[in-house]
Amino acid sequence: MGGPGRDRGAVTAEAAMVIPALAAFAVVLIWALVAAADQIRCVDAARVGARAAARSEPPAAVLEAARSAAPGRARVEVERSGELWRVRVEAPTPGPGPLALTLSAEAAALAEDGAGVSP
């Protein structure tokens, strides 16, 4: 029968199988954390832009406020719909194949310019 030295090769083979799987898991976990942080930044940027638009700030200032809070390469859209200002922020996340996503957030705020308010 075998002695204690016979199992040495099995440990090496198991480690060779487990280490790449752990490395792949770590990469996916880090990507997920970065994507979650960018999603939060999209939400914050949409809110900042909507508040700026509701305060009747100039369009360039609204876009700058939203873009400064948004992740890099984000696209910002601002539109007015009746008494509401809507700001939509979309940002791509880097990643291979199915991990490449487009994150988005939208916020709306009531215009403070008194439009539609009767005295």
Quick one: pLDDT at residue 10? Answer: 72
Residue 87 belongs to some domain of the structure: yes
Residue 44 belongs to some domain of the structure: yes
Q: Which two tokens stand for residue 52?
A: 């700026």
Strand partners, 90: 75, 104
Residue 16 belongs to some domain of the structure: yes
Residue 115 belongs to some domain of the structure: no
State the DSSP H helix or E strand holding residue 6, giving kind and residue range, or none if neither: none
Per the structure, the count of domains in the chain is 1
Quick one: pLDDT at residue 119? Answer: 38
- pLDDT tens-place values along the chain, 119 residues long: 455 556 666 778 888 889 999 999 998 899 999 999 999 999 999 999 999 999 999 999 999 999 999 998 999 999 999 999 999 999 998 877 777 889 999 999 999 875 544 33
Cα of 50 vs its chain's centroid, Å: 18
